[in-house]
Amino acid sequence: MGARSVWSTLTGYVIIKVKGPHLEAFLNQATDRGLFLWDVRRPRVDLLVAKTAATGLRALRPIARKQSVRITILKKQGWPFQLRRIWARKALVAGAILCLAAIYTSSTFVWFVAVDGIERVPVAEIKRVAGAMGLDVGAPKSAVQGDEIERQLLLDLPDLAWVSVEVKGTLARIRVAEKVVLDPDSHAPGDVVAARPGVVTEMSTFLGKALVQPGQTVVSGQVLISGVLSTDDPEYQKKVRLKQVPYLRADGLVRARVWYEGYGEAPLETYVEEPTGREEVSYMLRAGPWEWSFGGKRNKFAYDQTTRTPWRLSWHDVSLPLELIKVRKVEVDRKSRTLDPSDAKERAIQAAKAQAKGKLLGGGIILSESVETWEESREGIHLIRSKVLIEADEDIRGFRALRSGEVGRP
């Protein structure tokens, strides 16, 4: 598209038909008046078709009268004419303006709030504090004071080390970095205590004073190695001089024989579910606390297996509070089946063992297991029950800090 075409389209031009005699004289007079014509064709002796600027048409009329020719406008081209046609459709213009205004206005609000960098602090808590400072879905962007929100978040949530609030488009992004908190009790003075009751089998003291001997029975919470310092101990004098608590962080190795019990049960009858072939699919739309169900005939199956597949519109880590859930119910026929008693017994024993072993502290060596099983009936259901007693040798150390008094693992 040449420069002339672009200019003509911008300013508007007309395609005219000139009919009559002496068309050459008409053209000469038009050019003498400074008018510009282009794409002039002569389809017939008495007919001329040409293009000229819309503004020059007025000047052509007197020339046409003088030369006794008739000018007819075949077509009007260019933006001025397009705009005039659009302007005639006022409802369309008004609608377009309203639409643009609505889009622009809605872009001045925050519609999404995203939080990044979270590990321990709840996201809801950060959003609550930010919301109290004016940063929430639907808030005007001009009302969001990033610096003040950052300051308030650091004040209200002491676990945060750094906060950044940024609004880009309609998304407000809160980036946080949490503090790395050292356990205050990790170097604190305290005693080694028994985490489990048992009979001490091995004892090694690294720091502190041992209060029990191998072969001795201990109870939970009993002090095994004490961190107390006697007043004539040079370490005591040193700590007092340094204004520290004159107490050691006791340390050592204490292993003991411990016993754990576990219970398990298994029914002698079970149910097997087989699909009948009938199923029903329905949908649920959830928006916040509201739900609407649609689709499906709401068949009532006696027994069914239901699967729900949620689908949520999301962009990066921000999702709309709108969820579409596909609910698929497959009808099943439930049949009872009698189990082999030995199978049921084995399952009960395994369940009891799993429960007993779950109580081990870790690093324990199982020395022996004793198993007991019996039958029972409860509410018409026949069961096989099992009790397992495990004897193990394990490290029973616990640590109780002098300050907190809570027992933890060293």
Q: Running DSSP on this structure, what letter comes out for residue 249?
A: B
- CA–CA dist 327, 293 (Å, integer): 10
The 10 Å Cβ neighbour count of residue 34 is 8
- CA–CA dist 5, 47 (Å, integer): 24
The 10 Å Cβ neighbour count of residue 294 is 8
- Cβ distance to other proteins smaller for residue 46 or 261: 46
Supply the minimum distance, in Å, between the C-beta of residue 78 and other proteins.
17
- # residues contacting other proteins (CB under 8 A): 17
Supply the minimum distance, in Å, between the C-beta of residue 28 and other proteins.
4
- Cβ distance to other proteins smaller for residue 4 or 308: 4
Q: What angle do CA 132, 136, 138 make, to 5 degrees?
A: 135
- Cβ distance to other proteins smaller for residue 30 or 352: 30
| Span from 20-28, 94-102, 153-161, 360-368 in contact with other proteins (CB under 8 A) | 20-28
Site string for other proteins, 29-68 (x = CB under 8 A): -xxx-x-xxxxxxx--x----x------------------
- CA–CA dist 207, 222 (Å, integer): 17
Supply the minimum distance, in Å, between the C-beta of residue 48 and other proteins.
8
Supply the minimum distance, in Å, between the C-beta of residue 142 and other proteins.
55
Site string for other proteins, 253-292 (x = CB under 8 A): ----------------------------------------
Cα 316 to Cα 135, 239, 254, 330, distances in angstroms: 20, 56, 52, 34
The 10 Å Cβ neighbour count of residue 379 is 5
Asked if 23 touches other proteins (CB under 8 A), the answer is yes
Supply the minimum distance, in Å, between the C-beta of residue 39 and other proteins.
7
Supply the minimum distance, in Å, between the C-beta of residue 27 and other proteins.
5
Restricting to residues 342-401, name those near other proteins by CB under 8 A: none
Query: Which of 125, 182, 115, 179 has its CA nearest to residue 156?
Result: 125
Q: Running DSSP on this structure, what letter comes out for residue 109?
A: B
**Beta-ladder partners of 70:** 19
Residues that bind other proteins (CB under 8 A): 23-24, 27-28, 30-32, 34, 36-42, 45, 50
